[in-house]
Amino acid sequence: MSVNRGALARHQAALAQGRFLIQKCNDCTRHIYYPREICPHCGSDAVELVEPNGTGTVYAVTNVRRKLAEGGDYNVSLIDLDEGPRLMSRVEKMAPDSVKIGQRVSARVVLTEGRGMVVFDPVPGGGAP
């Protein structure tokens, strides 16, 4: 159990420094997200944290409705990174209901109270097909 927390702890520490990292398996060369000690594709333990390109495509999106006093609406999006992994996040810097499937996005880390979280911004000219 403590081994799994090791990979997670390294990932969380990088986020707290404003760095977004994913894993890459040195045996099968596939990328992995969420961090783990063993590659889910080939079972190798030869995995390392690497910096992704940071771009991806919106695979799916839904909007969560909230009262303005509670922060207003936001989107929950599944993003396919160009490296392959899919992760859940949100797209910012645009109206939540304007996010479209197929839209190109770019990752950035937001720090809140010393904790990092990956969010995405629209790529200029990267609208959905």
Residues 39 and 66 in one domain: no
Residues 97 and 112 in one domain: yes
Strand order in the sheet with 47-50: 31-32, 22-25, 47-50
Residues 63 and 116 in one domain: yes
- Work out the mean pLDDT of the chain and round it to a whole number: 92
If one compares 7 and 17, the residue with the highest pLDDT of the two is 17
Residues 59 and 114 in one domain: yes
Report the pLDDT value the prediction gives residue 4, as an integer from 0 to 100: 41
> Can you tell me the distance from the alpha carbon of 111 to that of 69, in angstroms, rounded to the nearest whole number?
22
Range of the domain at 99: 55-122
If one compares 30 and 129, the residue with the highest pLDDT of the two is 30
Q: Per the structure, how many domains does the chain have? A: 2
Residues 42 and 67 in one domain: no
Q: Is residue 127 part of a domain?
A: no
* pTM for this entry: 0.88
